[in-house]
Amino acid sequence: MNKITAAITAVGAYVPDFVLSNQILETMVDTNDEWITSRTGIKERRILKDADKGTSYLAIKAAEDLITKANINPLEIDLVLMATATPDMQVSATGAYVASQIGATNAFAYDLQAACSSFLYGMSTAAAYIESGRYKKVLLIGADKMSSIVDYTDRTTCIIFGDGAGAVLFEPNHEGLGLQDEYLRSDGVGRDFLKIDAGGSLHPTTIQTIEEKRHSIRQDGKTVFKYAVTNMADASEQILKRNNLTNEDVSFLVPHQANKRIIDATASRMNLEESKVLMNIEKYGNTTSATLPLVLNDFEHLFKKGDTIIFAAFGGGFTWGSIYLKWAYNKQ
């Protein structure tokens, strides 16, 4: 019997309607369009304005988009993996709620959190379940309502993040397509450089933590940028070397959309031409767990069966890595 590999067979996505442009941000904090664009590549980001809707809403919409486009029965889904850094609430798994809401009542579900690397790690997890032969359909969703943890008086972070969700379906493949290799890493040295300080078990919520705005995301921008540039590029280079791939072999790079300069550095290290580097950061900003599937959804029309696609991401913790995947279908 041929070896089972885990292939992406469908994609879906959702972004909210409200567009938070650089021009609007100029009225909120001391910044301007030229400064934001030159340093990040971001022009606008989508924001879920409804106060009564959380990350689950985004995830459900993305999953429903995939289910509709792929014409699959939700009852056939075996597992729902929810990659997110902004679950609806603590303890109660957002993934379990999402699975129930989309009708995947035969599936088990749970959340996976590795900051901006959540979806990348989720790809590895989904593939392992498929390759084991135990499950046939694994739905991986990357979704974050980053606006729920951003301080819109902090100009260093509010310009970066947006809300959104994307989903992919992993299924068994016997043609050698799908996930080929992974190079995943982490280093706890990053714990203090990109975080939400309060609200966890180390610093539980108090009146003081709220007054001090310790429940919003903070980062040491220069340190995070330095680590991200080095490690995302290194991981991508390592995955090529390990698989004896050259820049000519790579069809597309699907990088985490955090900062255009980080993406450019990674592409340069891989010696890739611009047309192979997929970016939509100017439209959505950094949607954390949703960036990779949003890129897949936006550029799905370009992919051909057998294409070599390299994924790369870097996130808080620190977490980072790269995945080598062969695309499994042509879009109808």
Mean pLDDT by 10 residues, the chain (332 residues): 90 98 95 94 97 97 98 98 97 97 98 98 98 98 98 94 98 97 96 93 95 93 93 96 97 97 95 97 98 98 98 97 98 82
pTM over 0.95: yes
Six-digit token string for 206: 């108090």
Question: How far is 26 from 11, CA to CA, in rounded Å?
Answer: 35
- Residue 94: which residues within 8 A CB-CB, separation 6 or more? 54, 55, 56, 59, 82, 84, 87, 88, 111
By annotation, the residues acting in catalysis are 116, 256, 286
Helix (H, G, I), strand (E, B) or coil at 195: strand
Here the contacts of 93-100 (C-beta below 8 Å, separation 24 or greater) are 94/54, 94/55, 94/56, 94/59, 95/141, 97/56, 98/56, 98/59, 98/60, 98/63, 98/141
For the beta carbon of residue 48, count every other beta carbon within 10 angstroms. Answer: 24
Q: What is the pLDDT of residue 331?
A: 87
Question: How far is 275 from 231, CA to CA, in rounded Å?
Answer: 23
- Residue 241: which residues within 8 A CB-CB, separation 6 or more? none
Q: What is the pLDDT of residue 221?
A: 87
